[in-house]
């Protein structure tokens, strides 16, 4: 007999798979787990209880902290702002190199969590005077019901953003967009072979969702962690760049990040040769805003004008230290319009 805790919440994103056997199919993410009574899905956060889908970790937060938006990374979204960042436990992917495995590879841990109702979270963000909320550290889709409730409560007061693997279903993503989530930092884990070998998943779904966000007026930045022997060969890099341009266009920023051994993956860190090759290829192919992350050379985090090449935004240690755009986000030298969503926060220390 399952004990109902205060963090159990009935969900609605599912269908009946076999009424007689009380089997249901969760439709929050494209894993579409079929669950028998008493069983949880891959994410460990959704469970079939007597033929109904329950989120069994609603509002159980593993971390809560104020962070700069640049750390997500989101460079073109409310630049220089601060977001109250929250996370839960678990993930619908199992990346062997996960850099946050201490949260993502765990089942919900009530005794190690802070339990916050959406109203408490929003109140805390307003009290701290931050500019927005960000679901991050582990995959946000796993606390989908909580995200929706937070979104509807906060959307008129705060921006709403997430760092995600982009694997939600179309109808779940549509509801997240309606609930006010406008900023998405999306991991692209590599090419189809990477997804097949390591994740049992489909990268076309990720690009489909990223495109859908842009079509609904949201903002997307793609993150490509170049992992040694998992997604770092030439054809794989070319595939990611090619699909980025095909689905998202040249204005969507691409962050190419260096991997370091973590969790269950022990290959050496990404070589500089591979990393810079990927960077050069992306620039050459026509992506206008390409950045390099997880390296010491911070100048690769600056934004240059795609037309005249002048340095327009200088970032150091996840902070904008120089902002040279006009009020309508144009290059002051040649007038080129830079892709920026939301307002630049000039002095975040006043927050
Ligand atoms: S949210 Fe969890 S239970 Fe639902 S389909 Fe995804 S992994 Fe499966």
Give the pLDDT confidence of 118-160 residue by residue, as tens digits. Answer: 999 999 999 999 999 999 999 999 999 999 999 999 999 999 9
Q: Is the pLDDT of residue 163 over 60?
A: yes
- CA 226 – ligand 1 centroid, Å: 26
Please name the residue that has the structure tokens 């960000």: 134
Cα(314) to ligand 1 centroid in Å equals: 40
Which residue has the CA at smallest separation from atom 3 of ligand 1?
41
From the list 69, 71, 148, the residue with the least C-alpha distance to 343 is 69
Tens of pLDDT, residue by residue over 73-100, are: 999 999 999 999 999 999 999 999 999 9
The answer, yes or no, to whether residue 187 has pLDDT greater than 60, is yes
- Residue 207 has phi, psi (to 5 degrees) of -65, -35
177 and 142 co-located in one domain: yes
Q: Are residues 38 and 181 in the same domain?
A: no
pLDDT of residue 225: 98
Q: Which atom of ligand 1 is nearest to the CA of 30?
A: 5
**Which one, of 292, 212, 205, 284, lies nearest residue 250 by Cα?**
284
Per-residue pLDDT, averaged over 183-188, amounts to 98
- The answer as to whether 84 is a domain residue is yes
Q: Which of 55, 75, 93 is the last residue of a domain?
A: 55
Q: Is 143 in the pocket of ligand 1 (CB under 6 A)?
A: no
Q: Binning pLDDT at 50, 70 and 90, where does residue 22 land?
A: very high
The CA 265 to ligand 1 mean position distance, Å, reads 24
Q: Whose CA is nearest to atom 5 of ligand 1?
A: 32
Distance 228 CA to ligand 1 centre (A): 28
92 and 165 co-located in one domain: yes
What average pLDDT does this structure show over 190-200?
Answer: 98
Residue 1 has pLDDT above 50, yes or no: no
Helix locations, the chain, DSSP H = 101-104, 118-128, 144-154, 170-178, 192-194, 203-215, 234-243, 272-285
Q: How many CB atoms lie within 10 A of CB 93?
A: 21
1, part of any domain: no
Residue 23: CB partners within 8 Å, gap ≥ 6?
A: 16, 17, 34, 35, 36, 48
77 and 70 Cβ atoms separated by less than 8 Å: no
Q: Do strands 60-61 and 52-55 pair parallel, antiparallel, or not at all (unpaired)?
A: unpaired
User: Does 28 sit in the ligand 1 pocket, CB within 6 Å?
Assistant: yes
Any ligand 1 atom below 6 A from CB of 61: no
Find how far residue 144's CA is from the centre of its chain: 13
For residue 250, tell me if it sits in a domain: yes
Classify the C-alpha dihedral 102-106-109-111 as positive or negative. negative
pLDDT tens column, 236-284: 999 999 999 999 999 999 999 999 999 999 999 999 999 999 999 999 9
Same domain, 140 and 198: yes
How many angstroms separate the alpha carbon of residue 329 from the centre of ligand 1?
Answer: 40
Residue 2 pLDDT more than 80? Answer: no
Query: What are the tokens at 212?
Result: 């859908």
Instruction: Quickly tell me which residue has 């309508």 as its tokens.
Output: 328
Residue 34: give the domain boundaries: 9-55
For ligand 1, whether the C-beta of 43 sits within 6 Å is yes
- Residue 9 · residue 118 · CB < 8 Å: no
**Is 348 part of a structural domain of the chain?**
no
Indicate whether 48 and 78 sit together in one domain. Answer: no
Q: How far apart are CA 12 and CA 317, in angstroms?
A: 42
| In-domain check, residue 140 | yes
- 18 plus 126 within the same structural domain: no
| 42 Cβ closer than 6 Å to some ligand 1 atom | yes
Say yes or no: 201 and 66 in one domain: yes
Distance 274 CA to ligand 1 centre (A): 34
Residues 6+ apart with CB under 8 A from 12: 53
Taking the centre of ligand 1 as the mean of its atom positions, its distance from the CA of residue 1, in whole angstroms, is 22
Q: Is 165 in the pocket of ligand 1 (CB under 6 A)?
A: no
Q: Is the CB of 160 under 6 A from ligand 1?
A: no
Radius of gyration over alpha carbons of the chain, in Å? 20
Average pLDDT, the chain: 96
C-beta 136 within 6 A of ligand 1? no
- Shared domain for 160 and 113, answered yes or no, is yes
Task: Answer yes or no: is the C-beta of 209 below 6 A from any ligand 1 atom.
Answer: no
Domain count, the chain: 2
Q: Which of 13, 15, 31, 144 to mutate to test the pocket of ligand 1 (most atoms within 8 A of CB)?
A: 31
- Residue 92 near residue 167, CB atoms below 8 Å: yes
Shared domain for 115 and 99, answered yes or no, is yes
Same domain, 226 and 328: yes
Indicate if 44 and 72 belong to the same structural domain: no
Ligand 1 atom 4, closest CA: 26
Q: Residue 347's pLDDT band (boundaries 50, 70, 90)?
A: confident
What percent of the chain is predicted at pLDDT more than 90?
Answer: 97
């Amino acid at each position: 007999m399952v004990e109902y805790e205060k963090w159990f919440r009935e969900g609605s994103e599912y269908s009946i798979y076999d009424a007689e056997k009380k089997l249901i199919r969760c439709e929050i993410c494209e894993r579409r787990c079929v669950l028998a009574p008493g069983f949880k899905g891959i994410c460990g956060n959704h469970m079939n209880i007597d033929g109904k889908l329950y989120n069994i970790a609603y509002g159980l937060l593993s971390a809560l902290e104020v962070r700069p938006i640049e750390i997500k990374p989101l460079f073109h979204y409310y630049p220089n702002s601060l977001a109250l960042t929250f996370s839960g436990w678990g993930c619908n992917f199992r990346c062997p190199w996960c850099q946050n495995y201490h949260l993502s590879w765990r089942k919900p841990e009530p005794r190690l969590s802070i339990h916050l109702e959406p109203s408490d979270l929003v109140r805390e963000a307003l009290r701290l005077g931050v500019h927005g909320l960000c679901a991050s550290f582990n995959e946000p889709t796993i606390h989908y019901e909580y995200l929706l409730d937070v979104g509807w409560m906060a959307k008129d007061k705060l921006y709403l953003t997430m760092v995600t693997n982009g694997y939600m279903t179309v109808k779940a993503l549509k509801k997240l967009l309606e609930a006010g989530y406008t900023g998405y930092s999306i991991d692209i884990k590599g090419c189809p072979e990477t997804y097949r070998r390591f994740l049992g998943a489909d990268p076309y779904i990720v690009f489909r969702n990223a495109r859908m966000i842009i079509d609904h007026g949201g903002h997307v930045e793609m993150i490509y962690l170049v992992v040694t022997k998992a997604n770092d060969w030439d054809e794989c890099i070319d595939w990611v760049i090619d699909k980025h341009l095909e689905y998202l266009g040249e204005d969507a920023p691409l962050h190419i990040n260096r991997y370091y051994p973590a969790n269950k993956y022990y290959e050496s860190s990404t070589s500089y040769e591979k990393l810079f090759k990927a960077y050069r290829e992306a620039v050459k192919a026509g992506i206008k805003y390409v950045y390099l992350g997880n390296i010491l050379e911070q100048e690769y985090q600056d934004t240059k004008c795609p037309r005249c090449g002048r340095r327009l935004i200088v970032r150091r240690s996840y902070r904008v230290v120089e902002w040279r755009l006009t009020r309508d986000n144009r290059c002051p030298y040649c007038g080129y319009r830079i892709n920026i969503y939301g307002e630049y926060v000039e002095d975040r220390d006043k927050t």
